[in-house]
Structure 1
Amino acid sequence: MVFKKLAQLTAASLAWSSPEQQRLQLENTKAADNGYFHWAAIKPSTSFKWHDCFGDFKCARLQVPMDWQGHSDEANKTVELAVIKVEATVSVTDPTYGGAVILNPGGPGGSGIGQVLRAGKNVRTLLSAGPESSNGVGKHFDVYGFDPRGVNNTTPTIICQPDSIAAGKWQIETNAYGYIGTSDTSFDNGIAKHVSTAAVARDIVEIFERHASERRATLARTVYKKGAEMVQYLGFSYGTILGATLSAMYPDRIHRAVLDGVADSFDYMAGGWSTNLPDTDLEFVKLGEYCWLGGPTNCPLYDEDGPAAIIDNLAKIIANFIHEPIGIPGDAISGPVIVTYNDLKRVFRDIVYHPLREFTVTAQILYDISQRNGSSLAAYKRAHFEPSLDHSLSERCLSDGPYSEACGGDDGAASFAIACSDGQSRLDQTKESYREYAREIQSQSRLIGEEWAVIQLACTAWHARPAWRYDGNFTAKTAHPILFVGNTVDPVTPRRNIALMKKGFVGAGELHVDTEGHCTYATVSMCAGRGLREYFQSGKLPEAEKGDKMRVCSPDRLPFDGYTELEDVPLPEGETDVEMWEALVGLNRVWP
């Protein structure tokens, strides 16, 4: 998911340790004493000290310099990275152990802790040796994730709202009034100067350094040699910007790097965010095509006259709804509610990322609206958009479990800090020039143009200046060629970005997945899964079929073919790798 929450929150304050943080840390420590895991109970260390957490995961807090270059007022301060891993199915002493692969979910400011909790075991299955492996040759990997600087469980955290009441109030206002809006704020720079992508790339190198030191100590066969450990990386969306930066800054350290859902790093670092949406509205065209292929049983919007008629009807339904919101009376479970066009736009924001999962739901919502029935949209709104005003986030985390939003924290301020620090040119932009920029961005997509235009708004009032910013040219010869992956229609990272980014990295490969949505998680494709596994297993780049310029993979399931999140999804005919298939389906279902 690219830059998901940037349009939802405006930064209000930053603090090294606010009273709310102190209260939560105290509650977390008490909870840990009662048998629950909380990060505050772990003492930070410059080496990995692993603790059991969230069932069968391992967690640690790795202490690194706040200022890697040592030139700022924070030169003597540290950052405590929250790191999680799902361990390989073999021990580090096993000859088939393949090391660690670190994930980044995007954002910027996405939680790697949350990603590994949701998806780490499926990623481990996907990348590690499968049934096709023989004679003990295949490799098995640890899967690591971490919360980047300023984000969630990594400390110090950039604070967006003083407490969950304020955060909930802001979200309610955002839902009510739409996406455009901001406030001019000031704050202590502190950690905000040290959350740039360059600093996070250096953190990744250090994570692998510490992993290597730990492994060498366990093996007791070789002496740890600083600077020799290679990096294995899998990044999505903004994670491809982080991956490109990592690969350009430390090309000799790249052993494996997959960049999935490729962003234009040049545009991002220039503060543009202006090349993301050329293909977004094609998603609606595909909705019409898949609805027609699915037939009247699977798609309530079906029209026998074909996809063009379906799309035309969609446009009419939406146009009528703009001026005619629908009221739904209360019942024993929920109070009365009015659903509006603004609510529908939020559905569009979700469905363009996840067409396989969401097209069926969206078609039902639009059909119901055409019948002046807003109940399905109201149900979607309650499930996805309405915040809880529970004043104790830590209590919610304990009650809702480690996969809940309450355990994820608020990454809004960190997202702004990272994006604004990287896009230096946007920091000095006036609000007047921003308005021109916003109009141009909104014109690119009717579906999510308004949301996207908000992303850079906060940077017009952002006061922190990055202590370390990468402004290189994304050109390098990596120790091993990197692999770019993209879908035919991606709503926010169009596939054309691959050609732009690929030419800067010598020998880089490409895997094209002929589907829609954001990143490969948006689909289920055994062909794509095998391509990723093969790359991590042997380093072999996907080979093109005869007559093609690159490997092109088809999806194994399509929207409106009966695929749902609630039912078992049978293994495709002719396939035998049940574990890989279940991993792919699992990734599609949990990807936010």
Structure 2
Amino acid sequence: MIYRYTVLSALLASASATPLALKRANLTTAQSWKDVPLSSDLTYVPCFDNFTCANLEVPLDYDNPDVGTTNIAFIKYEALNQPAKGDAIFNPGGPGGSPMNFFWDPSSYGLLRGLLGDDWNIVGMDPRGVNNSGPNLDCFDGHPAIRDFYEIQAFSDIDPRSSVSISKYFETSGAYGTWCSQTLNNTANYANTPATARDMLQYAEKLAESQGEPSEEAVVNYYGASYGTALGTTFAQMFPERVGKFIIDAVQDVEDYYFGSWSKNLLQADEAVNAFFSYCAEAGPNCALYRNGTTADDIKQRLDTVLKNMEDSPVTVADPNFVQFPVVLTHMDLRGLILTALYNPPVYWTSLATVISLLEERNGTLLVQFAEKGKMPVAECDNPPDTYSTIDPKLLIACNDNNKRFTVTEESLAALFMGQRDLSEYVGDVWPIVIVPQCRNLRFASPPNQVFNKFEVKETKSPILFIDNTIDPVTSSYDQMSAFFPGSGILLQDAVGHGVIVTTSNCTSSYVQKYLETLELPPPDTVCETDFDPFAAPAAGAEKRSVVPRTVPFSHRM
């Protein structure tokens, strides 16, 4: 998801750009990805001070090498305890998310290391079309400022409760597909999840060869969260005999993902909002919505009133101390922030409560900052924008994966919005924006051997460990997905949020690390206690992060 904040980018982005070139003091290491040599063997070189990097050349189509090749970027953080027990590939979500963002941030990486322990090399892999990996999926290649400006203008201020707004959104998204079809070349056909899964196997085989071991016996060790669960379960379906230590966190309904409607994500969204009400009431003065005798029902009624008032009468911000020009905020801006806050309560819930309390007084000065509205767009000559955006890769990969299974019409789009609103009264309006409609006019299609058709019951070489919070607002399908893999296990922790590292738990980390050591699964129905306290005053300098970058509001990032 550094990161942009607009409602639109909230609705759009899964991660902001990772710089392709970083300023580092140690000039003996690679300073940008262009300094990392491309090789068909797995050749690691020192990079960015604390890491090693590899640029692996792979076929665009493993069954048809004549199509050409592309590069896949890897960055490795060495295990603290050497020799390491192996390399574990990490995917933080998306599609379109880059693990490089996680690695640059010591706090987020520290949480990841706390979960997985100190015995494994953690390998960030940019999937096909993402950040430093090819093929190119930037529909505005060479013009990042135009791209960012367009994405904000095209998909902001959408109100699915207005038929006129839905019609405009339908046509705008179709135009986006037409544009990308003209600006990208046919290599975009090969950016999809099955191809990326095959790239993971290529990595494992090349690693085995570099260590003098037989490539045909290599297995993939993996930790994937959110969309990373789609990538991980796809790999396990395609190559069940090559599954090593596999941890699937924040488990989405991957069948629904491949269908293309993304309609089964919000199963626990309102349950998460209700938890916000309860924790706020229990937090007392640490929650800005608390008053003497406040109950969870009181807070719910107050939020409902604010949303209804903003739907009927939007809030304006015209204070030059906060905006560069007057801004109108609608209920969609607040719903977007609510969705973001559900991803990582320890980071966002305190601010969300303050935003709501100010809006009760028709004061939108804090919400406008989260929405990053009221600011002039970045000019390339003044402040160069991020070179990489996750939005184009997210859309192209998701559209290739769904393979036109979901028929997008204006009527089906309106029905999708209504269905999501039935699932979640608070964030259902926000979820369908920027995924489904863009696919209808794209001309790209993956070759038949890179189209994933259906899930089947598969026995894997090693048991898979599925993990999640008891309340995950956007992915809670661990029961459904684990059923495809007999012998797999489920570990839950008592918390609210997207991905288990929204909080800390010695119980969770001990079970995860025991699994990585011995493949031992937790006992059935295990639920770990945690340190989850979303309204606790943070210690000085403390920061908690989820599997999604904390500064990317309003998006359904996955």
TM range (shorter): 0.7 to 0.9
Q: Secondary structure at the match of 1:507?
A: coil
State the distance in 2 between where 1:439 and 1:463 align: 28
Corresponding position: 1:237 with 2:226: yes
Match of 1:261 in 2: 250
Query: How many angstroms apart in 2 are the aligned matches of 1:333 and 1:282?
Result: 33
* 1:299 to partner: Cα distance: 3.4
Percent pairwise identity: 27
Query: 41, 44, 47: which is aligned to 1:50?
Result: 44
Question: How far apart are 1:331 and its partner, in Å?
Answer: 4.3
Partner SS, residue 97 of structure 2 = coil
Shift of the alpha carbon at 1:280? 0.9
Tell me if the contact between 2:279 and 2:534 (Cα under 8 Å) persists in the aligned partners: yes
1:423 aligns with 2:402: yes
* Residues 427 and 461 in structure 1, CA contact (< 8 A), matched pair in contact too: no
Q: Tell me, yes or no, if the aligned pair for 1:442 and 1:452 is still in contact at 8 Å.
A: no
2:252 corresponds to 1:248: no
User: Which letter does structure 2 place at the counterpart of 1:52?
Assistant: P
- TM-aligned CA deviation for residue 317 of structure 1: 2.1
Q: Does 1:320 align with 2:309?
A: yes
Pick the aligned partner of 1:450 from 397, 416, 429: 429
SS of the counterpart of 1:449? Answer: coil
- The residue correspondences of 1:473-512 to structure 2 (distance < 5 A) are 473-494=455-476, 497-512=477-492
Of residues 113, 130, 147, the one that matches 1:124 is: 113
- The CA deviation string for residues 277-304 of structure 1, in whole angstroms up to 9 with x for no partner, is 1221222211110011101344333451
Q: Which residue of 1 aligns with 2:371?
A: 381
- 1 CA distance for matches of 2:243 and 2:221? 7
Displacement after TM superposition at 1:475 (Å): 1.9
The CA distance in 1 between the partners of 2:453 and 2:347, in whole Å, is: 38
Aligned to 2:147: 167
8 Å Cα contact 1:32-1:38 kept in structure 2: no
Structure 1 position 586, deviation (Å):
6.0
**Which one of the candidate residues 196, 205, 208 is aligned to 1:209?**
205
1:556 pairs with 517, 531, 544, which one?
531
SS in 1 for 2:215: coil
TM-score (norm 1): 0.80
Residue 259 of structure 1 aligns to a residue whose secondary structure is: strand
Aligned pair in 2 of structure 1 residues 362, 333: CA closer, same or farther (>3 Å)? closer
Q: Deviations over 1:125-159 (max 9, x none)?
A: 43235xxxxxxxxxx11100111111111122211
Map 1:310-389 onto structure 2 (within 5 A): 310-331=299-320, 334-341=323-330, 342-382=332-372, 389=378
What is residue 200 of structure 1 aligned with on the other side? 196
Structure 1's unaligned 5+ residue stretches are 10-23, 130-139, 217-222, 398-405, 544-548, 570-584
| 1:219-234 alignment, distance < 5 Å | 223-234=212-223
Task: Give the residue type in structure 1 aligned to 2:342.
Answer: V
Change (3 A) 1:87 1:396: farther
Q: Answer yes or no: is the 8 Å Cα contact 1:150–1:191 preserved in 2.
A: no
The aligned counterpart of 1:191 is 187
Residues 291 and 28 (structure 1), Cα distance of their counterparts in 2 relative to 1, 3 Å cut:
closer
Query: In structure 2, what is the Cα distance between the partners aligned to 1:417 and 1:498?
Result: 26
CA–CA distance in 1 between the matches of 2:291 and 2:475? 29
Question: Once superposed, what is the RMSD of the aligned Cα atoms?
Answer: 3.1
Give 1:539 shift: 1.4
For residue 460 of structure 1, report the CA deviation from its aligned partner. 1.6
Equivalent residue for 1:141? 120
Match of 2:16 in 1: none
- Residue aligned with 1:177, SS: coil
* Corresponding residue number in structure 2 for 1:85: 76
Distance 1:461 1:141 in 2: 43
Task: Give the aligned residue type for 2:426.
Answer: L
Say if 2:405 is the partner of 1:414. no
Between stretches 184-193 and 423-432, larger displacement belongs to: 423-432
Deviations 1:501-550 (A, max 9, x none): 1111121000011211111122222222222222112211112xxxxx42
Q: Distance in 2 between matches of 1:386 and 1:126?
A: 39
Name the CA distance, whole Å, in 1 between partners of 2:218 and 2:351: 46
Classify the secondary structure of the residue corresponding to 1:59: strand
Structure 2 vs 1, CA of residues 286 and 501 (structure 1 numbering), >3 Å: closer, same or farther?
Answer: same
Match of 1:65 in 2: 59
Matched with 1:580 is none
Q: TM-score, normalization: structure 2? A: 0.84
Within 2, Cα distance between the matches of 1:68 and 1:440? 39
Partner of 1:198: helix, strand, or coil? helix
Q: Deviation digits for residues 338-363 of structure 1, max 9, x if unmatched?
A: 35123222212211111121111000
Partner of 1:108: 95
Aligned-partner residue type, residue 533 of structure 2: L
Q: Is the 8 A contact 1:261 1:520 kept in 2?
A: yes
The 1:7/1:589 distance shift into structure 2, 3 A limit, reads closer
> Aligned with 2:149: secondary structure?
helix
Q: Secondary structure at the match of 1:560?
A: coil
3-state SS, counterpart of residue 120 of structure 2: strand
Question: Do the aligned partners of 1:298 and 1:562 also contact (CA within 8 Å) in 2?
Answer: no
Number of corresponding residues:
516
Question: Could you tell which deviates more after superposition, 108-117 or 246-255?
Answer: 108-117
Residues 36, 85 of structure 1: alpha-carbon distance in 2 compared, 3 angstrom cutoff: closer
Closer/same/farther in 2, CA of residues 34 and 327 from structure 1, 3 Å limit: farther
| Partner-residue secondary structure (3-state), 2:419 | helix
2:156 and 2:549 map into 1 onto residues whose CA distance is: 28
Stretch deviating more after TM superposition (58-67 or 532-541): 532-541
Distance verdict in 2 for CA 1:291–1:124, change over 3 Å: closer
Q: Kindly tell me: are residues 441 and 381 of structure 1, through their superposed partners in 2, closer, same or farther at Cα, counting changes over 3 Å?
A: closer
For 1:273 and 1:589, the matched residues in 2 are separated by 18
* Greater displacement, 172-181 / 471-480: 172-181
- The residue number in structure 1 matching 2:162 is none
In structure 1, what is the equivalent of residue 133 of structure 2? Answer: 154
Q: Which has the higher contact order (CA 8 A, sep 6+)?
A: 2
Residue 459 of structure 1 aligns to which amino acid in structure 2?
A: C
Write the distance in 1 (CA, Å) between the matches of 2:231 and 2:505: 25
Contact 1:421 1:464 in 2 (8 A): yes
Are the counterparts in 2 of residues 28 and 41 from structure 1 also a CA contact under 8 Å? no
Q: Measure, in 2, the Cα distance between the counterparts of 1:45 and 1:121.
A: 31
In 2, Cα distance between equivalents of 1:465 and 1:568 = 45
Q: Sort the Cα spacing of 1:358 and 1:239 in 2 relative to 1 into closer, same or farther, 3 A.
A: same
- Per the alignment, do residues 260 and 532 of structure 1 end up closer, same or farther by CA in structure 2, a change over 3 Å counting? same
Question: Contact (CA 8 Å) 2:92, 2:548: kept in 1 or not?
Answer: no
Distance 1:87 1:484 in 2: 25
